[in-house]
Structures are given as C-alpha cells and as structure tokens.
Amino acid sequence: IRAGRGFTDGLLWFCEQCNHPLHESHFELLDIEKDFIPHFKAFYSNESKRTCRSCGQVMASDPRFV
C-alpha cells in the first residue's frame, strides 16, 4: 500500500479486436472512487480515443460514463 502523495497511477485501454493501445491516462490517485471517474468520462465520451489506429475498430461507449 502506498502512503502519501506524489505517486502516479494510470489507466490504459486496449483495442478489443487487435489489442493495440487505444489511450492512456496518468494521474495522482488519491481517492479511487472519485479520481477514476473524470478519466473514464474523458475516454468513453470521445470516439477518437476509442478508435483503434491500427485496425479501425471503435470500442463501444460505456453509458455509465457518458
């Protein structure tokens, strides 16, 4: 368990068809229940971030975060 501030955490999304990286977001994680939400919303509300640059597959949006 990490204690204190200054630690960087991250989220990475991968194409469900070819496993190519779609998007990554790095941030200081202080509260797991609150800090993930803005990053989920930024990803799922942006079709460009959900579109694979390798094969063109578009990951479905998650209605909980749009």
| Residue ranges of domains in the chain | 8-60
Buried-state track 33-56, b at ≥16 Cβ within 10 A, e below 16: eeebeebbeebbeeeeebebeeee
* 7 — pLDDT class (breaks 50, 70, 90): confident
Tell me the average pLDDT of the chain. 92
pLDDT of residue 34: 93
pTM of the model as a whole: 0.85
pLDDT of residue 64: 92
* 36 — pLDDT class (breaks 50, 70, 90): very high
Indicate if the pLDDT at residue 53 is higher than 70. yes
